[in-house]
Structure 1
Amino acid sequence: MPNPFPGMNPFLEKPSLWPSFHQRFITYLADAIDPLLPENHSADLGVRVYTSAPSNGMYPDVFVAKHAQKKKGRNGTTAILEADPPLEVEYWAEEIREPFIKIRMGPDPGKLIAVIELLSPANKTPGKGRTLYLRKQARVLRSTTHLMEIDFLRAGEHTVAVQLDTLPENHWDYLVCLHRGRSRSKFECWPIPLQDRLPRIHVPLSKKDTDVVVDLQTVLDRCCETATGRRIDYSQECPPPLSKKNAKWIDELLRKKKLRK
């Protein structure tokens, strides 16, 4: 099904749809970038794999015990008490897989030129996923490698490297942030309102090579035409909650396209 929105499809932010969308978007973005690169460059996929507690905040392998207190009997002996029946909880940690793009120069393994990340819900929520991401972010920012961060999630904590207070207030819903290697505290940003088209962004390479330009809207629209897009139920409300202005705009747009009654 074609993307009914001019820009980001906010229904893709639904937790059950996000992993599939994340995988497809990164794959299609690499496919779009790779033919544009010089012959000695390549856009490959990497993946960050870790286990994390379920989203309800519990942690794996938890065992809670209430210790029985000793009680002395009248004859001076110690009474042996039985423990109260505990509440047994059993569950398994989730395996999280977060794909990203690595642009390299030269034969394998080559020099790492740029990293492109699509932020996941785990990256924007306190926990292991966020800790690992911020650790990698800091490492790349200190290096000569370019870092491109794409945030298509309205919920969660501010995570991209640029400071939030340097951006315009309340005029955007999504954000793309580029930090060029060795540029210290300078960032190039594309703030994106929900109702706007996704931008065409430039991806930096080595100093002697010209940036390549990729159209994020084309990549996202391709994702919507796959099984991921066909799973969307436009009759439902869009998670997370929208502003009244955006909710009204979405409702009118979907009714006009006969995707909602």
Structure 2
Amino acid sequence: MRSPFPGMDPYLEHPALWPDVHNRLIAAIADTLAPLVAPRYYVGLERRTYLLSLDDLVFVGRPDVAVLTGSARVAEPQAPAYEVAAVSAPSPLWVELPTEDEVSDNYLEIRLADGGKVITVLELLSPANKLHERGREIYESKRSAIFGSRTNLIEIDLMRAGEPMPLRGKPVHSDYRILISRSWQRPRAQLYHFNLRAPIPAITVPLQRGEDEPMLDLNAVLHDLYARARYDLMLDYNQPPVPPLNDADAAWAHELIANAQRA
């Protein structure tokens, strides 16, 4: 089954599923771009790591640790049933220690094949770098460093949750966004803003100034991935998506899903 939605499928945004979608989609984008920029450039899959607390890991989509923070905690010992002397050693309290674990995000770098110079960075935003305060600070610092360099940036935001990444001027309201910042055009940049009911727009990928820019059909990449990965087996379209839709979009989505299921 293919996704019933013309563009982004909001059911893929569920925090428990998004890490899988993120990693597969960024790899699929790399596989799509590699032959388009070869042989002058190659596309590298890079990784950034965050140290987050257990509660934060649940927040950014690591459901496996929910067991550790929920019902599976070690039970506190019960008082003995027999009587003890009036003077006794105090019983110890059971406490929890701050614990951290690693969360990694993948992103792409388009590099010159004859030296490895980074020409373009492609970021697909995740809960770790959009929704989590410390992760967002780390990402925004890197983002600012790119804006002060000669490296291009493509920033893809396919999550409705959270505040959009900062821009100058009047805020732009939309469900999803793609920012293309060419180093030679700064501080100006292109922003593709689109909503749930629209296909994801195709974009051109900046390389070096004056060079032809290959076209990336992100909508086709995502929908091909949906079919290959069989995400339809993971999604319950009888339930509302997470995060929820507004009333108008929820009614539209319900009709869309019903039509797809009848087909």
SS in 2 for 1:96: strand
Q: Does 1:248 align with 2:251?
A: yes
SS in 2 for 1:165: coil
SS in 2 for 1:23: helix
Which position in structure 2 is the counterpart of 1:31?
31
Which position in structure 1 is the counterpart of 2:208?
206
Q: Deviation per CA, 1:116-172: give whole Å up to 9, x if none.
A: 00000121224321121111101111000000000001011222x5347253x4xx2
* Aligned pair partner of 1:165 in 162, 165, 170: 170
Which position in structure 2 is the counterpart of 1:132?
138
Q: Distance in 1 between matches of 2:218 and 2:157?
A: 12
Which position in structure 2 is the counterpart of 1:231?
234
SS in 1 for 2:44: strand
* Aligned pair partner of 2:101 in 94, 97, 100: 94
Which position in structure 2 is the counterpart of 1:67?
none
User: Counterparts in 2 of 1:18-97, with a 5 A limit?
Assistant: 18-55=18-55, 86-90=93-97, 92-97=99-104
8 Å contact from structure 1 (residues 224, 230) kept in 2:
no
TM-superposed deviation, 1:200:
0.6
Which position in structure 2 is the counterpart of 1:77?
none
Which position in structure 1 is the counterpart of 2:61?
none
TM-score, reference length from structure 1: 0.82
Q: Does 1:106 align with 2:113?
A: yes
Which position in structure 2 is the counterpart of 1:257?
260
Give 5+ residue unaligned stretches, structure 1. 59-81
SS in 2 for 1:50: strand
SS in 2 for 1:257: helix
**Range with greater deviation from structure 2 (225-234 or 207-216):** 225-234
Root mean square deviation, CA, Å: 2.5
**Range with greater deviation from structure 2 (202-211 or 192-201):** 202-211
TM-superposed deviation, 1:38:
4.2
Letter of the aligned partner of 1:177 in structure 2? L
Which position in structure 2 is the counterpart of 1:195?
197
TM-superposed deviation, 1:87:
4.6
Q: Distance in 2 between matches of 1:239 and 1:206?
A: 39
Q: Distance in 1 between matches of 2:238 and 2:218?
A: 26
TM-superposed deviation, 1:235:
1.3
8 Å contact from structure 1 (residues 48, 98) kept in 2:
yes
SS in 1 for 2:15: coil
* Aligned pair partner of 1:145 in 143, 151, 161: 151
Structure 1's 55 and 180: CA in aligned 2 closer, same or farther, altered over 3 A? farther
Letter of the aligned partner of 2:152 in structure 1? H
TM-superposed deviation, 1:49:
1.4
Structure 1's 247 and 30: CA in aligned 2 closer, same or farther, altered over 3 A? same
Letter of the aligned partner of 2:95 in structure 1? E
Q: Deviation per CA, 1:3-31: give whole Å up to 9, x if none.
A: 11100000011011000000011000111
Q: Distance in 1 between matches of 2:246 and 2:177?
A: 17
Letter of the aligned partner of 1:251 in structure 2? H
Structure 1's 100 and 87: CA in aligned 2 closer, same or farther, altered over 3 A? same
TM-superposed deviation, 1:105:
0.9
Q: Distance in 2 between matches of 1:40 and 1:242?
A: 43
8 Å contact from structure 1 (residues 17, 228) kept in 2:
no
The structure that is helix-richer by fraction is 2
Q: Distance in 1 between matches of 2:117 and 2:33?
A: 17
